[in-house]
Every structure is written in C-alpha cells, then in structure tokens.
Structure 1
C-alpha cells in the first residue's frame, strides 16, 4: 500500500482537485433544497455530456439518486444535453425518449446517443463542446489507466479544461490499480480541471453542521465510529453479491461511511488497518432471504455478512467501521459518531431523514436537530455548477467537498479493509487446518 502523507499533492485553490480531506466546508445554511433554488441566470446554453444511461443518471425506485433531475432544476432551460453515451443504445434511447416526452424536452430534443466518447468526439460539431461531463457509468469502467476503463483520461485528452463530475467509488478494479487512481488525480490537479466526486453525504446540512461545530470550537477529533447495516432482502442484483464483480460491500457500498470517517478524522495510516469478517460459510453468517441464487457464485467471491475494521488516523485519533448484511425489508440502519473533548456528534439515518444528536460540555442530554428537506444530491450538483460558472468569489460559498484525490484515498482505505478481512480469514483457516492436522496425528 502507498505511504503517501496527507501533505502531498494539495492545492489551496478551491477550483483544484487536490485538497485535504478535512477541508473545505460550507455554511450549512447555504445548502438549500431544490424547490428554494433559483435557476442559474443567463441565456446561453450550458452543454453537458452524460456518460451512462442507468439508474444513477436517470433515477429508479431503489433510491433518491437521479443526476439528470438535479441538473434540470439547477440549469433550467439553459441545460442542453448534447450527448448521452452508453454501449446499451436501446436503453439510452428509451430513457431519452421519456425525457423528450416530458416538460424538460428542450434539454434533450437534440441529444444524440453514442456507444463511446470517441464516437461523440468524431461526430461533434464545435457548438456541441460541453462545459461539463458527468460520469455515471459503472465503476469497473473508470479509475484506471487501462484502455476501456480510463474514461477520466479520455475526457482530459479530448476536452482539456472541461469540468467533470465522477460518481463514487472511483473504481472497483484490482487493488494494484490504486496507483492508477493517484496518477489520474495528479493529472486532474496539475491541469487545474474542476472535478467533483459524488460522495454526496459530505453535502448534508447535518454533516456541515458537524464540521461547523468542530471548527468554531477548535476541536480535535478523537474518534470516529461508523455503522452501516443494509437491508439485504432488497438487494436483487447478482453483481452486488459477487466480489469479483462489485469488489465487495465495503468498496462498493460502505465507501460512503469510510469517506465520512475520513472527512472528520483526517488521513488514515493505512498500515494500521485491521479487520475481521463473518463469512457466508460460518454458522452466524446464514441468511434466510437472499433474493439471488448465491450457489452460482464461486465460494471465494461471496460477500461477507459482517465486516468490522479499526485504524489509526495520522493525527493519532482512532477510527472504526462495521458493515452488516443482516436486515430485511427495505430500510437501512446507518450511524456515524464523532467524538472530541466534551463533544459527541451522532449522525443518524443520513440517507433518508437525517437527524443530528449533539452532546456538549456541561449538558449530559443530547440536542436533536432534524433536516427533513435536505437534498445532498442537489447540493453537490448546485455547487459544481456555481464553481464552473464562477458565480461567487466568496470562499464561504460554493465548494467542492470531495476531490478526485480525496476519493482515491477513500478507495485505498476500503481496499485496505477488504484485504485485512481476507488476511484474518486466511489466518483463521490455516490455524484450523493445522489444529486438525495435529489432532489427527494425536489420534493416530
């Protein structure tokens, strides 16, 4: 694993892509819901390229994600989606038709569908040059320097200076390609390309209130404790249950809470990561309502039921994360606790109806602050557009809260956790085998 220290590859400019994970932050009251937002002014078209025609870009019944919806609300009639890129032409054409049959037809009536970015570049008129490229394709097709999985480098090559939005995690490739991610991050930073990665939980009002409390009281974080319990009964995608395809639940799903942990704790000393797992073949790991046929997945690629990890931050603080595949129904159960001298900040249910419980010095009781109308997906899109438009010079205004380098560091942490669980499992199996061999010798 890399031994990079957090002082490397950082910029102070808010437009850059190499900021520290502990900065920047936003006044939480500047984050407003879509229905309170005013469309960006101007009459000129704002050209956008969408890469990926799946759920993250156009929405589904499985969650609140839908980037196209947020761009439509932020840019209004200025939005012009000049290209929709997806190898599945039929799917892309179908979602495009739905848009053209709706009140946002002006944004999509001239959209063309292409299988690849290169196809679009070969057929692009000068007037179609984008101001932003939004990447929502599956993570196994990005975050790498390998041809066919190097979409970020392609964008930098064909559209230098054009802003990018990249979904998380930045990749789900093999561990040795993490170095590719750092190379991409440095290329983005050196070119001063505006780039935001979709760790939307950083844009929650509750999260920014937590940051504000820490900063205003000059606190030093002592510990972060994160828990993510998913409702596995609702997960019907075979790929999710196959580590060879999804890279496992820590990398693909728990990444948000590993990222939030870093956002508050700072950089992680990767060498200190330890983890244990409850596996599918252990007695406590038997699940009764899996919707897919797990027998079709190779045993070594089946996902762990529980992953429990601990680590040290460079500051000396301690972090922990537990991911659990145990709940049924549809609702997840997720919490993040942050501790500092005299303070406990506890974020509950961040995906649906966030509640922040605050305990301060001199009061043993928690104060509950609720955020019923928050939309971090819109906030991250809104801030990105404001920075592209260079609307405000106020440093307290629009901020990119998750840069590409930052996202690669989170990816590195999630891979370290997965590797630590596999190492501890291998050690246990070896010890069991040696004990069985010794017993067999005694019996003989």
Structure 2
C-alpha cells in the first residue's frame, strides 16, 4: 500500500486536499480518526513491519494528529499519542530488524514514572487525567527514542516518512481555508488568533504548519519529487507559510525558520555550493519571504508586525513571551524549594498560588521536568540533550543536517508548546537514527 501512495504522490495530495474539505462535515473526521489507527494496525499485523510500516504509520499520524483533534475525530483527546506508542511498540516486536537495546531510554521511561508518587491533585480533579496529560507526550518520546536508537534508516525511507507526515497537513490547511471567516471581518490584535486557526489552539496549529514548511523546503532543496512540478511545490510552501503567519502563533513558525537555517547551513556544506549560486538562492528565498510577510501584514492591518515584535494592538510593548518567563521563574523556584519534585501534574495548581490569573498548564517542558520531577527531571533533561549529539558528530554534513534539524525542532517546540502533541517526541526519536544510502 505504501508503494502505491509513494508512486502517486500528487494524486494522494489531491485526495488529502479533498479530506480537508470533507473535514467540515460531521461524520468524516471520526471516520478518518478511526481508519488512521485501524488500517496501520492491520498492515503491521499482516506484514510484520518488514517495510517499516510502523515508522510510516506513526509518521502519518504525527502529521494528522492536530487536524483530527481540531475536527473532533478522535474518541479520546490523546488518541494520537496512544496510537503512535502502539504502532512503534508493535513494530519493535514484529520487525526483522533486531532492536538495539537502549539502557538510556529504558532508564528515562522508568525514572519518568517516579514523579507519579508525589502527585496530589485538589479534590474534584482527576489524578488519572492529570498524569496522562503530562506524561503521554514524554512517553511518546521514550518509546520513539527506544525504537529509533541507532536504527539504520535509508535516506529515501526517511524522506518517504516525511512525505507521509506532510500528507495530512495538506488536509489541515484546506480545512483552515473553509473554516476561516472573511479576513475583513476578523479583528486582528496582539494575540494568537483562533478564528484563523479553525477555532482550535493556534499554538498546536502553527506547530503543525511549521513542520509542513520545514518538510516542503527540505524537499525543494534536495529535489525530492513531491508533486513533480517545482512551481507547484513552491506554491504549496508559500501557502503553508501564509496560513502559518495568519494564526498569529509565533512558536511553530519561528521554530521552522530557525530549523531551516540550520538545515541549509549543513546542506550547503555537504553540496559545496558555489558562492554565486548561494547568493542566487538567498535572493530568491529572501524575495518570497518578504513578499509573503508584506502581503500577510497588509491583510492584518499591520498587526502581524506588532505580534512578532511583542506589541499589543495599539503598539505598546508587552512581554514578548506572553507570560512564559513568569511561569518558568515560578517553576525554577519550585524546583529549588522541592528538589525531589512536586509531582506529575501538580505544577498548574502550585502556580495558581503564585501568579494571579494563570490557570493553564506549562508550555515549557524543560520547566515542567524540573518543577515536577526535581533532580530526576534535571538528569532526564541532560540525557535527552546529550545522547543525540553523539549521533550528530558521527555523520557527514548531510546526515548532520537532518539529525540537528530534528533535534532543533524537538528542543524549540518543547520550549513553546511543551509536549501537547506527539510531534516533538516522535521527531526527537528521528535524531537518533543512522541515516544510510545518502548518495542514492
């Protein structure tokens, strides 16, 4: 089945564009959510993960998770994360590849669970929901890391998996087109915009779109055949960028931009591109970036400029981190006062005592690990940051380009969006693979 999709990429892109329109109707999202889990399980069972079906299926669901969530297609809110875990575990048990045992990530998973011992939630709150909400993302990371640790992945397979991630993102941007009101009717201000994000969380939407922008640019740079037409691929990239800017959520877009700079640097070193050619690429890229920015800024009445410079609707400078620094300071204070941690999910309730009007959970996974897991969280963070670097230094420039890009996406995403979705944990796992056949 995967070969049929990969040999007819443009056809399946069109199919997913249609899916985006169908997502505006009541029954389709539930059908897509159900089939995106059941079909991969069936294929892994039939084929035994001989052709990395688990990897490709998990990649697809990582790309589809936000779209299916925003359309209400999952029975459980965290179904996407649970399914990614099941796919990868099933793949480890049934594949031909002899799984390399990783004591680092087995220890990570074990130590992660210790924080549950200290968990105490207020009366009327669900202990189970608090624990699952905060640990489902980190567990996705642990299972992904265990699955991909030193796993030999051919470059073609890696790009094919990135294509599978990209497919449902086409559905999401078309869904946004149909769900967004006339832009003239929207009052843009200095905050993330739910109206241009399909009525869903702009942070998660922008994070998913940012992933799409990264994948599309990598495909264009590496001349990977997506639609078969460079012009059409570029149009898709421009539209993704436009939709991402319209969300007014900065994290996912800035993450994409920084990651692309990092990838481009190592890709240029690998290709040994001449300076004159490099200048041409920079000029073309710069022209399109400025054009999309100016067009979007004009549509939003200049509010896009205010949003990215941390100003409110009337141009007054405000906290550019929208309160994240305040929360992080409280998390560090709690870490110093409780070196053993305050328990999984307790951070939100502790912050209610310290900062007025802050009722949400942390958007920063680094702060959450330190606050809720204490010293153990500190060592878990060191483990997560150090192990992929050994893999990075082993590769050539092209391998480095992919590995450091996955690492960058993970780290930047967990600092602005924590681990609300499966994407950062899964992407982290990709920073641990051994990329092979790079000259094919």
Higher helix share: 2
Greater C-alpha Rg: 1
If the length of structure 2 is used for normalisation, what is the TM-score?
0.28
Higher strand share: 1
If the length of structure 1 is used for normalisation, what is the TM-score?
0.28
